[in-house]
Chains A and B, each alone.
Chain A
Amino acid sequence: MEALLEAAVRLAVPLLLAALGELIIERSGIINIGTEGLMLCGAFGGFAIAVASGSVWLGAAGGGAAAACVGVLFAYFVVVRRADQIVVGTAINLLALGATGLAVRALYPGMAPVSPTFGTVAVPLLSELPVIGGALFRQTPYVYLCLLITPLLAFALARSRPGLRLRAVGECARAADAEGVGVSRTRFAAVLLGSLLAGLAGSALSLAQSNTFTEGMTAGRGFIALTIVIFGRWRPGGIVLAALFFGAASALQHRLQARGTDLPYQLTLMLPYVLTLLVLALASGRSSAPADLGKAYRRESR
């Protein structure tokens, strides 16, 4: 049980980081389906810099920075040029997949080397707690980052003026603009911050969950992060639960596979997705998507 919980949290963390990043972006009214690509850039950037510098910390920072750079590109097209968000997001995904694949082969002919990795750090006392101690407090620094930024983000959205402005822009860009909130500026900042988190999420894959970079190693996690945002109803708390749910379902699926059941492995692989579909179908209520999500804003065209 404890091992399962520990695995659930570990698997949930990259999803959670990416989903929180996507949350920030979507709350500003921009839909970024390029999360997968941003994570991939983060995974590769983190890996390459960790290998070159020998420091995991520099690697993680580099992963975040690499994704943020791509985020600037995304924001330029989407916020400044007001291009279609789905099209640009798709382009980012394809571009990232190709570029990182090319780069890894160009930089490391033959086989990609092994990078330094984050080990687990036990928090004194807390890690001795029953049941949750190991799952929450004997983990990699990524888990602690999540423990830090999730409540911070929840607080910022509900109780800070930058948070209010972010929500105002995503809910009703016209009203926000009329009241003097810079719509483009807010959206640009949101994309930048969100991409940074997606990049960190990617670096968790290459620097904590494995010790190397392989082509396309995100394996759809960016898209799962998009689902988690919807599933969590655009709220940090809901997103944590959704990410944990996914993490738990994946951990369970690993466990089932390791046990070797009679079920074809394709079926167990489907488990997290089937469970999500079920829960999504059962959960209902007031729609909570930001009202201006996906809509470009032009001042004078009403």
Chain B
Amino acid sequence: MSAARAGAALPLIELTAIDKSFVPQRPVLRRVDFDVRPGEIHALLGENGAGKSTLMNILIGLVRANAGAIEISGRPVDLARFGPSAAARAGISMVHQHSTLVPAMSVEENLCFADPSGGLLFDRRRAASRLAELSQRYQLDVPPGARVEDLSVGQRQRAEILRALDRGARLLILDEPTAALTPGETAALFPALRRLRASGRGVVFISHKLDEVEALADRVTVLRRGAVSGTLAAGELDARELGRLMLGRDLSALERPSASGGERSSPLMRLRGLSAAGLGGGCGLHDVDLAVHRGEIVGVAGIDGNGQRELEEVLAGVRRMDSGSLEVDGKPVRPHVRTLRSLGVSHLSGDRERAGLIPGFSLTENWILKASHSDERFFSHGLLRAATASEATRVAIAHFDITPADAAADVATLSGGNAQKLAVARELSGEPRLLVAVNPTRGLDVGSTRFVHEQLLALRARAAAVLLISTELDEVLLLADRCVALSRGRVHAIPADADRAAIGAIMLGGQGA
């Protein structure tokens, strides 16, 4: 490194001509150049499966590139010996797309176990006060002392972000950090990232939400199918242009046919006076009344942790109701997985890492996972019809544009967005009469989000009912015929003419509205 170049312009990290394929003949990254300068927020955009997470994993040494070079502050890195601990020593830390918290340990223990600055002993009280201080400073709320496995997706995400911020890294990589955050939390995170930038650190920010990228980024690199399709400076950002770089085509606005209208039949599903205990310090559900009709999308808005998971689990038949009743077609039903399935109630889990898909199983195996032995599509006399099953999976792969287009591939090798597409496709394939969809587009790119939204609307057009439980207010407002808000375990109606501010107040205040 020459003395003249050692000025401010020297990138914190520079990747040159990175090639990567996990499976021969299936390149994931092709000659990718990427760098982050000090005092810069560099956004990385791209469709699901474009290679964003892989590129970042190469950057922190968790994945080894097949070819290419990495330089940290101008010094070349020996790729053969580069790994996460070397990256940590070089001041690089990362919030991974898939949780890297240890589920069986407490948040505090997770904060400390890999902290390079920690001593030999783990001081529980000091860790707790540090967590409280971090929570306070960054306005990200994490329940102290809780085991990670008891936390909601949002709480885990917040804990993960706090841990990364706590490391005080020179380069912070955030892989879809906002996918499970509320707008409020996202808004609180941004100033923190800007402060990092102001103090000369580098930030890589991955998101599928263009407005976030526009609000934050100094530079944007777009990946398409493993190659850089463009790098733009903040001034040149334009949603259409970004969309084109990502997808290679323009995306038109979603057409939402008006409600099917007509006379209201009796509800397909009705909850009366439902109460259920809370999970891991959660608020539980109190006296929830909710009805969904055929041909209707009912949106349940609300901030994560207000009873969404409890509601989801009751409707999935895996959580006991303490009181209240569930009716389907006007008849009382004991919520139980099998009963609900046989009545045509389908459940799209909001937690695909834990409840939706089984890593280690192939796409086909996951596809038929929820089909019962009596399902004649895939089983005859209790025996699997393997050819039919993989054919059905292939059709879905083509229809939903899932990559890799290989029914025998392990689900664990799918990118986050592609795994979500598979889960959505599977639930829709059973032609449910009622679909309980929880955050159905979490982690999906704009194109896929659009696609899933169209699918939900198509389901509604086929006179099925959809209960959309989403922490994404925009999504609820876009799709739902009728909205309610879930706040501290209670359901509050949202008037049809309420504006966003009013809805926000209902979501926060609950009874006040």
Contact = CB atoms under 8 A, between A and B. Distances in A.
Contacts of A164: 105, 109, 112-113, 122
Contacts of A177: 62, 84
B235 interface: no
B124 interface: yes
A167 B122 CA distance: 13
B100 A175 contact: yes
Interface in B98-114: 99-105, 109, 112-114
B387 interface: no
A161 interface: yes
B100 A174 contact: yes
B64 interface: yes
Interface string A165-193: 10110011011111111100000000000
Contacts of B116: 180
A177 to B, nearest CB: 6
Interface-central residue, B62, B105, B122, B124, by most chain A CB under 10 Å? B122
B10 to A, nearest CB: 25
Given A174-B100, A179-B100, 8 more contacts: A159-B121, A161-B119, A163-B122, A164-B122, A172-B102, A178-B60, A179-B113, A302-B359
Contacts of A181: 85, 113-114
Contacts of A165: 113-114
B120 A168 contact: no
A160 B120 CA distance: 6
A161 B105 contact: no
Count class of interface residues, chain A: 20 to 34
Contacts of B99: 175
B84 A168 contact: no
B105 A168 contact: yes
B100 A291 contact: no
Nearest to A167: B105
B96 interface: yes
Nearest to A163: B122
A179 B104 contact: no
Nearest to B124: A159
Nearest to B99: A175
A158 B123 CA distance: 10
B412 A168 contact: no
Contact of A159 (B94, B118, B122, B410): B122
B22 interface: yes
Given A163-B122, A179-B113, A299-B62, A172 B87 contact: no
> Chain A's interface: helix, strand, loop or mixed, by majority?
helix
A103 to B, nearest CB: 40
11 contacts: A158-B122, A159-B121, A159-B124, A164-B109, A167-B113, A171-B104, A175-B100, A175-B101, A177-B62, A301-B413, A302-B413
Contacts of A171: 102-105
Contacts of B100: 172, 174-175, 178-179
Contacts of A161: 112-113, 118-122
A167 B114 CA distance: 12
A179 B122 contact: no
A178 B96 contact: yes
A162 interface: yes
A262 interface: no
A179 B124 contact: no
A101 to B, nearest CB: 41
Contacts of B105: 164, 167-168, 171
Contact of A180 (B87, B101, B412): B87
A153 B121 CA distance: 13
- Residue from A175, A290, A291 whose CB has the most chain B CB atoms within 10 Å: A175
A50 B320 CA distance: 63
Given A159-B124, A160-B120, A302-B410, A180 B84 contact: yes
A182 B85 contact: yes
Interface in B53-95: 60, 62-64, 83-85, 87-88, 94
Nearest to B410: A302
A209 to B, nearest CB: 36
Of the listed residues A160, A167, A178, A290, the one surrounded by the most CB atoms of chain B closer than 10 A to its CB is A178
A102 to B, nearest CB: 42
Contacts of B104: 167, 171-172, 290-291
Nearest to B114: A179
Contacts of B60: 178
A300 B114 contact: no
B103 A168 contact: no
Interface string B376-413: 00000000000000000000000000000000001011
